[in-house]
Structure 1
Amino acid sequence: MKKIAIIGFLWIVIFSCSTKTVAPETGSIDIKVTIGPLCPVEPCNITAAEYKSIYESYSFVISNPTSKAVIIEQKITHNGTNGLMKSTNIAVGEYELNIKPENFFTKRGFPKTIKIEKDKTTSLEIDIDTGIR
């Protein structure tokens, strides 16, 4: 009878340990983007819709630096003044941040190494040079 009780107890312990789920540690990223210059001379007569279109033509790609597997690819949104990209629930770790579309001017500052920390927001301010002169 003792053997059956011990085996039953061990079975319960093993089963309860195997079904336990562990939530991954996560953090967030918050990127503020400025794109310019947008005109070769001042005054720059670009409409609000054109500003929005310019900013939203870019996206950020967050990938694993070793495998290059894409973790997140997200378009920049325009808030009327700047571009923004916010993402939450990113697994803690070190990543590579790149921008699309790539061109001569954007390749100068990318890829960037970023670190996501547990329960923290990684904040970045990025200036994108369009090369318009």
Structure 2
Amino acid sequence: MKTYLSYICLPIIFLMACASEAVAPEMGALDVKVTIGPLCPVEPCNKTIEELKSIYASYSLVLTNSDSKAIVLDQKLTYNGTNGLIKSTNIAVGQYEMSIKPENIFTKRGFPKTIIIEKNKTASLEIEVDTGIR
């Protein structure tokens, strides 16, 4: 009798365990380099490192799923000494639209950009943001 119950219970437990496992989505990464300028109406432009960090941190990139229109990433730029960077891993494979905030007549040029994230690959992009300062 005990063996008969184990033949019935074990497959049921196994099926329940398999049914509760979630399938992990395929993932990729995004690496964006952003240059913002001009920063001054005349050269030379003598901004301090803190001013440059503040300027770059005032911009953020927004990644939206092309199908669902859900925002996947909304991240501020970080200044690395020469330009702004965004590095993001664990983005589900798919097609996305990238836009920049704040939006104005100058930053709208060229946006939204279509980005395709592929499995186990890093999508790299270089963006130039025109501030309109002349």
Structures share fold, TM-score greater than 0.5: yes
Runs of 4+ in 1 over 3 A off after TM superposition: 1-10
Match of 1:56 in 2: 57
User: Cα offset for 1:3?
Assistant: 7.6
1:14-29 equivalent positions in 2, closer than 5 A: 14-29=15-30
Match of 1:132 in 2: 133
Match of 1:65 in 2: 66
Counterpart amino acid of residue 17 in structure 2: S
Match of 1:89 in 2: 90
TM-score (norm 2): 0.89
Q: What SS is found at the alignment partner of 1:68?
A: coil
Match of 2:114 in 1: 113
Indicate the larger mover: 17-26 or 28-37: 17-26
Unaligned runs of 5+ in 1: none
Match of 2:81 in 1: 80
Q: What SS is found at the alignment partner of 1:89?
A: strand
User: Cα offset for 1:66?
Assistant: 2.9
Percent identity between the aligned chains?
65
TM-score (norm 1): 0.90
| Structure 1 vs Structure 2 CA RMSD | 1.8
**Which whole-Å CA distance do the structure 2 matches of 1:82 and 1:100 have between them?**
16
Indicate the larger mover: 11-20 or 23-32: 11-20
